[in-house]
Amino acid sequence: MALETVSTNTAFGGTQGVYRHKSKETRTDMTFAVYLPPQAGNGHKLPVLWYLSGLTCTHANVMEKGEYRRACAEHGIIFVAPDTSPRGEGVADDEAYDMGQGAGFYLDATEEPWAEHFRMESYIMKELPGIIEENFTADMTRQSITGHSMGGHGALTLALKNPGTFRSVSAFAPIASPLSCQWGQKALGGYLGGDQSSWRRHDTVALIEDGAHMREILVDQGDADGFLKDQLKPDLLKVACEKADISLNFRLQPGYDHSYYFISTFMAEHIDWHANKLGI
């Protein structure tokens, strides 16, 4: 598959790149970022850490603000940051920020007008991994995943639904139960229709209640996050993990909000944690 290089920059001895391709899943051009650490030049395949971004974001938000490159260079980890939705002329959208372009919720839509292009689950799990493996020095037997907010929801649900794909999963301020918050109810209803039983496979808490399992999960959450009470629902995640005997390392960080000031502060700790799980 043809891959267009949008830009490359040297950083911490490695290469930060931005790339574009025509997606078969979304039927649009898709742009993503990849950081190749300096170890990529020695011919050895390296493990991959996926980062899924939150509402309104593109690949650029974490690339410019996430402060992940030093830690990835130290450990020899490839960092992949996809976009959050299909975009472009003819792609359905919504006036609000929590639906449509920039708000794909990492699922495959079944309802019109979203079904034609909004196939982010298949894009992340089926199409993009093949592109990463084909074009970069990636060891796809060693993958981990993390994400923020809507992307934390995506990281947790995709890991739970695909046992064995990811060695580890973490999240920053994830939407833990879309079934229980306005963001999730709007998106799941719009993308998947009114049958709420079909929503459960896109809800971390529901997946755990229905038997999906991970050995352990790392979550950081700021206690000054304005979305904490009404949208993120981490208490539901804590209860579900305790009942399912999942080791949840939930760290409530005093004074931190929902922004990249929060994410960048704890990014290196997440990468260190994933590096250990990846056998580095």
Output the pLDDT for position 192.
98
- Which residues make Cβ contacts (< 8 Å) with residue 82, sequence separation at least 6? 30, 32, 50, 52, 53, 59, 123, 124, 128
CATH entry, 4-277, from 3.40.190.10, 3.90.1200.10, 3.40.50.1820, 2.30.42.10? 3.40.50.1820
**Is residue 1 scored above 80 in pLDDT?**
no
Q: What angle do CA 201, 207, 210 make, to 5 degrees?
A: 110
CA distances from 132 to 6, 7, 78, 110, 278 (A): 16, 16, 10, 27, 17
Position 186: which residue type?
K
Kindly report which listed range (1-5, 23-27, 209-213, 259-263) carries the lowest average pLDDT score. Answer: 1-5
Active site residues: 149, 225, 258
pLDDT-derived band at 42 (thresholds 50, 70, 90) equals confident
Q: Give which of 39, 44, 33, 123 is closest to 79, Cα–Cα.
A: 33
Q: How many helices (H) and strands (E) does the chain have?
A: 9, 9
Stretch 59-70: mean pLDDT, rounded? 98
Look at residue 41 and tell me whether its pLDDT is greater than 90.
no
pLDDT digits (tens, 9 = 90+) for 174-230: 999 999 999 999 999 999 999 999 999 999 999 999 999 999 999 999 999 999 999
As a whole number, mean pLDDT of residues 112-116 equals: 98
Give the pLDDT confidence of 131-190 residue by residue, as tens digits. Answer: 999 999 999 999 999 999 999 999 999 999 999 999 999 999 999 999 999 999 999 999
Q: Please compute the mean of the pLDDT values over residues 49-59 and round it to a whole number.
A: 98
